[in-house]
Amino acid sequence: MRFIDLFAGLGGFHKALHELGHECVFASELDPVLRETYKQNWGKNINIHGDIRKIVKDNIDLIPDHDILCAGFPCQPFSKAGKQLGRQDYRGTLFDEIVKILEVRKPKFFILENVRFIAKHDNEETWKAMKVEFKRLGYEVEHNDYSPHEFGIPQHRQRIFIVGIFGKNSHDNFSFTNVDKYKKSVVELGNFIESNPLNSKKLPKANQDCIKLWQEFIDALPKDVKIPGFPIWGMEFGADYPFEKQYPHLLSTNELSQYKGNFGIPLKGMTKEEQLANLPSYARVEGEFPGWKQRYIRYNRQFYKDNKIYIKKVVKQIAKLPSQSWQKFEWNVGDNERIIYNYLLQFRASGIRIKKPDFFPSLVCTNTQIPIIGWESRYITRREGLKLQSLTGLKLPENDNAAFKALGNAVNAKIVKLIATQLLSIPLNGLASKEKTMNMDLYGNKVPHILTA
């Protein structure tokens, strides 16, 4: 079958369908670096173009007839980690380009991938609007959420996969339950990481010093004191600014001068601008604090009150860390051994996250949040990142920042392959194409039908 690869990135859809024996006849990718990388992976003569919006508007005939449309359209407008502007964000309207192509070319199938929150965005109004468009075009649609860790790949990355088949009653022969049969209960982390690889990037000294401080914080607590499961916000240790019925923006400079800000610093004698600068960033908002923030502030202030005698000294050092994200700490390993470097780590905007060594957090499109293998004090390598996205064998951009951004935006090829195997093998008009189940390697050689990571 012939397929097109929209918002192609590294080519996760391409890899999955290529291995099943299908042919890419058109691809688009806005990023020029990724377009060049795509050619390196899939052939210098590959038909890859730039801005799909411009192509659809000015020359839609560039897009040939095809059987399968694949698209991992931009997720940032719908992500819970972003501003959730949805179709108000110009990237959110790129779904409209998919609709225009479906309307003109009417492929038999489509496979789309996005953050799972798209189905909940704007009280489900976004998803309802999408379904209306699919129905208008004659497609029956199913969707399901999947994460690589459900299929033996140690990465937690929940995504929605949307499949469409042209024609009435077309989904009678497709079910995501056939995909579910490939789920695994055991994830072997060791199969996806290398032992002290030569090309690994070590954790910078500043980050190591930060972790050392938080280890001192943990060690200072008596063994019978539980490490909080809620996010630790160090800035709240010693703070007493109001955050419930009143909050900083409602108070005058004189009123706010009666309180203490970050780590107990007195706000007296400061201008209002200086007072706000000495509050946590989440406390500078002009509106009411949401309930969950109020809870975490209460929990942190009480925890400090109860344990000040043990942690006061190290908290003074934590207060000197260069950013508020480093002054926040998330201990997600419960009552297990209290040694930070025994776990997987991640420096996030929400804090330094410590998690069990079972599977990695989701790869994201910012290089500052690359997962860290604690016991080797290093970031995961490019090759390990490819494994986590089931893209082994592909080239990445030379620049590490660009490489991990591309990995963070990539679609997991194994999950696509599992879905495509079920979707594309169903009969159409009573006929099933033999080529739909053909399995090939990256170089076009026929190989046994094995689903690999």
Q: What is the pLDDT, as a whole number, of residue 55?
A: 93
For residue 80, how many other CB atoms are within 10 A of its CB? 10
Highest mean pLDDT among 82-96, 191-205, 304-318: 304-318
CATH superfamily to which 2-189+392-437 belongs = Vaccinia Virus protein VP39 (3.40.50.150)
Give the pLDDT of residue 410: 93
Query: What Cα–Cα distance (Å) separates residue 250 from each residue in 34, 236, 255, 281, 322?
Result: 48, 19, 9, 16, 28
- List phi, psi (to 5°) of 18: -60, -45
What pLDDT shows up at residue 199?
84
Alpha-carbon distance of 302 to 308, in angstroms, equals 10
| pLDDT value for 453 | 45
Mean pLDDT of the 335-350 span? 95
Residue 445 scores a pLDDT above 50 = no
Q: Report how far residue 212's alpha carbon sits from residue 108's, in angstroms, rounded to the nearest whole number.
A: 56
**pLDDT band at residue 429 using 50, 70 and 90 as cut-offs:** low
Band of the pLDDT at 427, cuts 50, 70, 90?
A: low
Q: 324 is written with which tokens?
A: 């508020």
Overall average pLDDT of the 397-420 stretch: 94
d(Cα 219, Cα 221) in Å, to the nearest integer?
Answer: 5
Q: Is the pLDDT of residue 165 over 90?
A: yes
SS (H, E, C) the chain: CEEEEECCCCCHHHHHHHHCCCEEEEEECCCHHHHHHHHHHHCCCCCEECCHHHHHHHCHHHCCCCCEEEECCCCHHHCCCCCCCHHHCCCCCHHHHHHHHHHHHCCCEEEEEEEHHHHCCCCCHHHHHHHHHHHHCCEEEEEEEECHHHHCCCECCCEEEEEEEECCCHHHHCCCHHHHCCCCCCCCHHHCCCCCCCCCCECCHHHHHHHHHHHHHHHHCCCCCCCCCCCEEHHHCCCCCCCCCCCHHHCCHHHHCCCECHHHCECCCCCHHHHHHCCCHHHCCCCCCCHHHHHHHHHHHHHHHHHHHHHHHHHHHHCCCCCHHHHEEEEECCCCCCCHHHCEEEEECCEEEEECCCCECCCCCCHHHCCEEHHHCEECCHHHHHHHCCCCCCCCCCCHHHHHHHHHHCCCHHHHHHHHHHHCCCCECCECCHHHHCCECCCCCECCCCCCC
Residues with catalytic roles: 75
The confidence score (pLDDT) of residue 425 equals 81
* Alpha carbon 272 to its chain's center: 37
Q: What is the pLDDT of residues 214-254, one digit of tens each?
A: 999 999 999 999 999 999 999 999 999 999 988 898 899 99
- 442 pLDDT higher than 50: no
Question: How far is the C-alpha of 424 from the C-alpha of 92, rounded, in Å?
Answer: 28
C-alpha distances (whole Å) from 221 to each of 91, 142, 320, 342 are 47, 51, 20, 18
Q: For the segment 94-146, what is each residue's pLDDT rounded down to a tens digit?
A: 888 999 999 999 999 999 999 888 877 667 788 888 889 999 999 999 999 99
Average pLDDT of the chain is 87
Looking at per-residue pLDDT, the higher value among 76 and 354 belongs to 354
What is the pLDDT, as a whole number, of residue 246?
Answer: 86
Of the candidates 61, 80, 73, the one whose C-alpha atom is nearest the C-alpha of residue 99 is 73
Is the pLDDT at 367 greater than 80, yes or no? no
pLDDT at 361 (0 to 100): 87
Reported as a single tens digit per residue, the pLDDT across 23-33 is 999 999 999 99
Whether the predicted pLDDT of 84 surpasses 50: no
Long-range contacts of 347-350 (CB under 8 A, 24+ apart): 347/207, 347/372, 349/325, 350/231, 350/325
- CATH 3.40.50.150 residue spans of the chain: 2-189+392-437
Percent of the chain with pLDDT over 70: 87
For residue 82, the model assigns a pLDDT of: 43
Residue 101: both structure tokens together? 């192509």
Give the contacts of 5 (CB within 8 A, at least 6 positions apart): 11, 13, 14, 24, 26, 27, 28, 70, 71
Q: Which pLDDT score is estimated for 45?
A: 76
pLDDT at 176: 93
